[in-house]
Amino acid sequence: MHAVTLRDLMWMLFLWCASCNCGPDPRKREALIRLEASRRTGGNITLNEREKLLDGKLQKLKQHDMEARQFPPSMHFFKAKCLIDQSPVFSLLQKMPKGAALHVHDFAMPASSPRCSSWTLLRSLREKIKNSTDLDNSFIRNLTLFTEDPDRAYPSQDTVWKRFEQAFLVAYGLVTYAPVFKDYLYEGLRQFYEDNIMYVEIRALLPATYELDGRLNNKDWSMRACQDVVRRFTANYPDFLGARVIFTIHRGINATEAVKTVEEAMTLHRNFPDIMAGFDFVGREDLGRPLWYFKEALSLPEDRGVNLPYFFHAGETDSQGTDVDQNLMDALLFNATRIGHGFALARHPVVKEMSRKMDVPLEVCPISNQVLKLVSDLRDHPAAVLMAEGHPVVISSDDPALFGATALSHDFYEAFMGFGGMSFNLGTLKELVINSLRYSSLPSQTKKKAIEVLLVKWDKFVSESLL
């Protein structure tokens, strides 16, 4: 994707301009502006004639959103959603083939509630209650974070994370019922597919699922269930490529439990190579143990000569100079394949250069970072800095159902409009979309083929959008 010769030439031009008092020569100025544009994500993508036409159209649509009284990426997503939904830019992004979603979670956190109220059929409940709108709203209220006044409801990271983990627990008993687990996964894939996504990597805790007779199913059962569901889904939707699982555990565990878990992950990776992508920790970084605490466990695969790819959450924090703030560096020292969030990366210049040289991308989830209160105005999101430098990133959605967002399109809107304003173009989108497959855990042959399929879809999207 990188036209090295052009870049080198422009860089020399830049050095020449910077070293002299060259004054306001419009040609040099133009060259510097182009040099900066070439650095951006997608800045070296050459658009064909039809893509240029669509880009022209897109820039006009963007201008409209930029000049509106309220700019959605500057607002909380819960308030911005209705504005985004009306935006023609959003409508275009929905239709756009988005490749893969590489950072999304399954439903649960590890600790289930030991006791919950007895089960009631939803039908019986509806018959008893007159106002079923209230009932439906109470489900939404309990299963998602949505609220009309998020600043009041969630004044701090502590309050929003508490509700966030609660919402997972509410869903826990529902989706760990074995048949529902499969239906839930199938429906999840359908929603991603309908948002024009062809492949998903799911971070999954793989908790025990239960049958009505009291039997509990183990992780092997869950992996096989995932295999079955994915097979069934791709049979029904042949242009969907599939899904893989990143096995996760809560970062609250201790070192001994971590050793056991990594061993379990190695076994799963050996037994389910087609569907098991690797390993990660979940839970709020600031309250959990830093990666370095788990060094013994995380060294096991290399020590034993076994390959276990890591996809660590790291830098999902605004603490600076703390132990947790070293997670980004440690993720790379443990040779992570991708980094989840990496919100703090721009503040770590050495780690940033390491990740660029090692070509380890960040999975950037704008809406999640905003709802979980790392950043308020998405124009201030550090990914704006990273994408201006062409740092490898993919856009993902973390927990779209909890945020009331579509599978990926709302996050694409926030990233495209919020991180780039008028400076991003169709080339930015094309690189992001290709990145999503390039940085997936798919085997290289499958990956190559997937990108070819994606590019055919892309050309079709461009043509249809010009009609």
Residue positions annotated with a catalytic role: 316, 341
CB 77 within 8 A of CB 133: no
**Residue 436 phi, psi dihedral angles, 5° rounding:** -60, -30
CA–CA separation, 350 vs 58, rounded Å?
Answer: 36
Q: How far is the CB of 424 from its own copies (least distance, A)?
A: 7
Angle formed by the axes of helices 49-67 and 426-438, nearest 10°: 110
C-alpha separations of 407 from 193, 194, 248, 335, 365 in Å: 9, 9, 21, 29, 12
Maximum Cα–Cα distance across the chain: 81
Residue showing tokens 């502006």:
33
**Tokens representing residue 117 in the block:** 């109220």
At 426, list the tokens.
């169709």
Q: How far separated are the first and last CA of the chain, in Å rounded?
A: 28
3-state secondary structure at position 203: strand
Residue placing its CB nearer to its own copies in the complex, 62 or 81: 62
155 vs 179 by CB, closer to its own copies: 155
Structural contact between residues 355 and 339, judged by C-beta atoms closer than 8 angstroms: yes
Q: Which residues bind its own copies (CB under 8 A)?
A: 14-15, 17-19, 21-24, 28-29, 32-33, 35-36, 39, 66, 74, 151, 292, 295, 298-299, 302, 318-322, 325-326, 329-330, 333-335, 346-351, 353-354, 357-358, 374-377, 379-382, 384-385, 388-389, 420-424
Nearest to 338 by CA among 249, 416, 437: 437
Q: Given the complex with its own copies, which of 176 and 370 has the nearer CB atom?
A: 370
What strand order describes the sheet that includes 276-282?
Answer: 100-105, 199-204, 242-250, 276-282
Query: Please, which residues bridge with residue 81 across strands?
Result: none
Q: Which residue, among 305, 361, 357, 317, has the nearest Cα to 338 in the 3D structure?
A: 361
| Cβ closest to its own copies, residue 93 vs residue 384 | 384
| Nearest-approach distance from CB 327 to its own copies, in angstroms | 12
Backbone angles phi, psi at 259, to 5 degrees: -60, -45
Specify the residue, 20 or 121, whose C-beta has the smaller distance to its own copies.
Answer: 20
d(CA 60, CA 54): 10
Q: Which is nearer to its own copies, 265 or 386 (CB)?
A: 386
For residues 46 and 331, what is the distance between their CA atoms, to the nearest angstrom? 33
- Minimum Å gap between C-beta 198 and its own copies is 30
Closest approach, Cβ 32 to its own copies, in A, equals 6
Closest CB to its own copies among 228 and 377?
377
Q: Which two tokens stand for residue 437?
A: 């497959």
Least distance between its own copies and beta carbon 318 (Å): 4
